[in-house]
Chain A
Amino acid sequence: MDTRPNIIHYDALTGTTEVSEMSDEEYAQHLEDVANAPIIDPSPTDV
């Protein structure tokens, strides 16, 4: 993804939902994780 993922915090006591952006550090880790993720073909070619 080239857009920064968000983080949700929901509190049932107050009924509030907060949506915040990833920190720069978390986003850098996210980009590294995505770049290093193995590519796996999800098509059912092994049927």
Chain B
Amino acid sequence: MPVPDFSPGEVLTAAAMDSIGLWKISSTTFNNTASATIDNVFSATYTNYKLVVQLYGSSNSNILKLTFLNSSGTERVTNYYGAAWGVDYATGPTTLNSTGAQTTYIPLGYPSATSNKQPLVADVLIGNPWASDTRTSSAGPQTGINEGVVFSGGMTNGTYLTGERHRGFRISNTANTGLYGTVVLYGYRD
């Protein structure tokens, strides 16, 4: 049986739409964009969120940054603990790379240079940002861990170290350069 079990021509009810498990909340296109603030996207409707990032930038030295907006819409720029880490698999599994532990943002990895247009791709799970009494954490696989080396990839993870409500997020980069690509946010229905 197909799920959801909709019939051709059927008028969809709110209950039917609410049964859909993964819902696109926002889609943002970067075109020489240094940062994007995506506000009022987290809510009580969903507990967990899927952030799909596909961006390349104008400098290989960039670290792509994820930060959260508090319940007033103010960007939080301290109190994180996060890193992007992985391997350069052209040189073997023992060649580990990391952005190092960061406390002012959550690193998503290194967006590659404009010249080769190899985007950083990241699939990031953000856990319960709307809860006011738990820490907001994120984790997921990503490419581009080693500053422009094409044969590399790994993970990103991070936590905002105080329990508080977050209503949105911001994507930016440490070199403040223009990025190209898309950032899409989805909500997971419980």
Interface residues of A (CB under 8 A from B): 1, 3, 5-13, 17, 19, 22, 26, 29-30, 33-34, 37-44, 46-47
Contacts and interface: CB of A to CB of B under 8 A. Distances in A.
Interface in B79-114: 88, 90-91, 112-114
A9 B75 CA distance: 12
A44 B150 CA distance: 6
A30 B57 CA distance: 13
Interface in B59-89: 59-62, 88
Interface of B: 25-26, 28, 30-41, 58-62, 88, 90-91, 112-116, 118, 147-151, 168, 174-179
What 7 pairs between A and B have smallest CB-CB spacing?
Answer: A5-B178, A8-B36, A5-B34, A42-B148, A37-B61, A33-B175, A13-B40
Contacts of A30: 34, 175-177
B-side binding surface: helix, strand, loop or mixed?
loop
21 contacts: A1-B114, A5-B33, A7-B35, A7-B37, A10-B26, A10-B39, A12-B26, A13-B40, A26-B34, A33-B177, A34-B58, A34-B175, A37-B62, A38-B60, A39-B60, A41-B148, A42-B148, A42-B149, A44-B90, A44-B149, A44-B150
B99 to A, nearest CB: 14
A21 to B, nearest CB: 10
Nearest to B149: A42
Contacts of A1: 32, 58, 114, 177-178
Given A6-B33, A34-B175, 18 more contacts: A1-B32, A1-B114, A3-B32, A5-B33, A7-B37, A8-B36, A9-B36, A10-B39, A17-B28, A19-B33, A30-B34, A33-B175, A33-B177, A34-B177, A37-B59, A41-B148, A42-B115, A42-B150
A19 B178 CA distance: 13
B72 to A, nearest CB: 13
B148 to A, nearest CB: 4
B178 A10 contact: no
